[in-house]
Chains A and B, each alone.
Chain A
């Protein structure tokens, strides 16, 4: 009977169990204090009910020891919860080094997903079980939110920037994918599924659905088509070998890390940050390059190294 009436969502990722344990601890605390307060109210209300009209009870001003006691108990409890929850959060928010990167573009009202080798899907995400997956996400219009309840992960998908989330599925099967952030008329239809498969099966699926070339290869073509190559690698602009995640010195003396966000900004708003030693001659490609093409260019730049950071 309880199968039709579950008390917790399915646990299908490595982090789900830890979160549920904290959830049940919090539930226990909630039940305990609710019980204490309700019991006290009922007990006092009945025990000290008015027995005669106009009766005057003895007056009590308060009690410092009690005030200290019932401030200290919640204080200790919230400190415990905070430390527990935050350490879980910190360790959950760090993606493992070896995670496979998949790109997500949200738009009203669909999810577009791109695997590094070029396979694409809409509203469905196929992933292998037992392998860490990192999603790099952006939106073409409003804010959306990528939410997989069975994995206990959720992250907003924001236009104009990249956000990321990671998970490692522990169970094969089909799980809900929801848009969590209200995004307009068909928000409730911006849903889909995450299909977790055995690794071999996943490989088979990949080779079956691989129609296009890899993202990096598409990026390389764009790199030529938009004539990036005429400056970059021709001495007029910084080369991209071993560029991804390197430290870039800027003309104002500061340094930035060449992550996805920086590459994106350099292409759309080249004058925002200038690589020290170069002239600000790069034109903006805003309006000419789609979100998807941006991701492909980034994949291409990443593929130029350094080797260990290359997306597999």
Chain B
């Protein structure tokens, strides 16, 4: 790409242009809003993390080492609700998406800067409801809110938590709309769709899912609320409702939602793999279109969460076939990323370590998805720890690794500072080891028959649970290390310069941290994304 990196002559950037709390709370700068989100989701990651720690300590003993069953149930419910709706779903879109999309398309801001700020406030209000639910006694429905448990039988702050999720959905919808319009309307001259960075493609697919799927779960939650408060019979058969209807509505959103969590990470990894092997991405169009294919198919597979619910055999067969279909675009991505390394100039900077970790763990998560898409085996594995292991491989091994990789990659751009890369590589390694030790044993214990959401369990599962808890303590350390050196770097890190990694992409052609307006002159694009080196790329 062509715009030349300008040294920031004036020294004014989006961080130091104004000071004071008001300048943050009333900002419409997409970069500042991204940081507001970064702080808020980090807060929720800590809450989710603390509950995870308590869960793993509790499960060291078969009778439960720490908590009453009721408290244990509240712990895993809070863990799921917070991690999914308040950390993973907003994670990459609201932070890196917000920060980078305008810069990557060569614009001065998102299409609707005020709506962008509004979506953060909505998120905060939603978060307050959730924190209230936590403090005022907790919820014990699980993150899935299955009826009629959630509508008629569960005690606790179900309404507050459900409202939190409901409201957070609007924040997600608004962010998605903002991105879609920005990507359609605000691309720099010359930036055609097939020149867009793959991160933008991935965010586009994600936004489409957010806008189309979220209203459905909102409806489901409203219905839960109506039934819980006014005994309107929708889900509870005692009131003339259908309990399975809720699962259809819930998974119609929540299966696509798992792709809201993973697609952005896939986008990040595409950026990282190219930059740290100094090569064009292998099969640009295959990676871009596979994101769209995943987004489309993801709306048609929700029934794979309901194979044992009494759903008809034929419905299960169709859902199974479609679920297997998702595996193919996922596999295409993995192969293309790996092929990008071929004959590259591979460096081992910390973002790359995270990216390679992502590819490996996502591969395992996707392959174990086949055990669950397959009807005969899922009957046994459903609602056991196997499912827990599967989705943690994807959501923690995949999505969270991608998030951390992206954070490390763009941190110099965001803060203008470098962090100690040796520590960062060490942390990535600790996380990789801790992660596998935590979650691999859960595949085994799940296959052996240990059900999920059990506060006490038969003794024969203890060894594997202890392994898992031991791994979790390593994993926990792995997450604390980046927290420390990243905060440290904000003050003490050496200045990064506009483009420390030698990456292509418009965001690297402006100073770090960027000025409020992103670019002094709006760029004109004349090249494809990832033009590393000579222009004569060839097809093998």
Stretch of B46-54, B121-129, B236-244, B412-420 lying at the A interface = B236-244
The reply on A229 being an interface residue by CB < 8 A is no
**Chain B residues near A234 (CB-CB < 8 A):** none
Cα-based distance from A179 to B452 in the complex (angstroms): 10
Q: For residue B244, which residue of chain A has the nearest CB?
A: A158
Given A22-B377, A50-B346, verify A45-B370 contact (CB < 8 Å): no
The reply on B492 being an interface residue by CB < 8 A is no
Asked if residues B368 and A154 are in contact (CB atoms below 8 Å), the reply is no
Asked if residues A178 and B364 are in contact (CB atoms below 8 Å), the reply is no
Asked if residues B338 and A143 are in contact (CB atoms below 8 Å), the reply is no
Asked if residues B153 and A108 are in contact (CB atoms below 8 Å), the reply is yes
Cα-based distance from A49 to B379 in the complex (angstroms): 45
The reply on A189 being an interface residue by CB < 8 A is yes
Query: B112: shortest Cβ distance to chain A, in Å?
Result: 36
**Chain B residues near A22 (CB-CB < 8 A):** 374, 376-377
The reply on A96 being an interface residue by CB < 8 A is no
Asked if residues B279 and A145 are in contact (CB atoms below 8 Å), the reply is no
The reply on A98 being an interface residue by CB < 8 A is no
Q: For residue B146, which residue of chain A has the nearest CB?
A: A143
**Chain B residues near A50 (CB-CB < 8 A):** 278, 345-347
Asked if residues A44 and B342 are in contact (CB atoms below 8 Å), the reply is yes
**Chain A residues near B460 (CB-CB < 8 A):** 4
Partner of A182, one of B146, B284, B379: B146
Given A30-B364, A59-B532, verify A48-B343 contact (CB < 8 Å): yes
Number of interface residues of A (CB under 8 A): 85
The reply on B148 being an interface residue by CB < 8 A is yes
The reply on B10 being an interface residue by CB < 8 A is no
**Chain A residues near B153 (CB-CB < 8 A):** 108, 141-142, 184
Could you give, for residues 140-166 of chain A, a 1 whenever the CB lies within 8 Å of some chain B CB and a 0 otherwise?
011101010110111110111101000
Query: A67: shortest Cβ distance to chain B, in Å?
Result: 5
Stretch of A74-82, A114-122, A275-283 lying at the B interface = A74-82
What are 26 A-B pairs at a CB distance below 8 A?
A5-B463, A18-B376, A40-B338, A50-B345, A56-B534, A57-B532, A61-B538, A62-B282, A63-B283, A63-B339, A66-B335, A66-B540, A74-B327, A84-B376, A86-B376, A90-B313, A147-B451, A149-B449, A158-B244, A159-B148, A180-B383, A182-B144, A184-B140, A185-B70, A187-B454, A188-B69
A residues contacting B by CB (< 8 A) are 4-9, 18-19, 22-23, 26, 29-30, 33-34, 37-38, 40-41, 44-45, 48-51, 54-64, 66-67, 70-71, 74-75, 78-79, 81-82, 84-86, 88-90, 92-93, 108, 141-143, 145, 147, 149-150, 152-156, 158-161, 163, 176, 178-189
B residues contacting A by CB (< 8 A) are 69-70, 73, 140, 142, 144, 146, 148-149, 152-154, 236-238, 242-244, 277-280, 282-286, 308-310, 313, 316-317, 320-321, 324-325, 327-328, 331-332, 334-336, 338-339, 341-348, 356, 359-360, 363-364, 367-368, 370-371, 374-377, 379-380, 382-384, 444, 447-449, 451-458, 460, 463, 502, 532-540
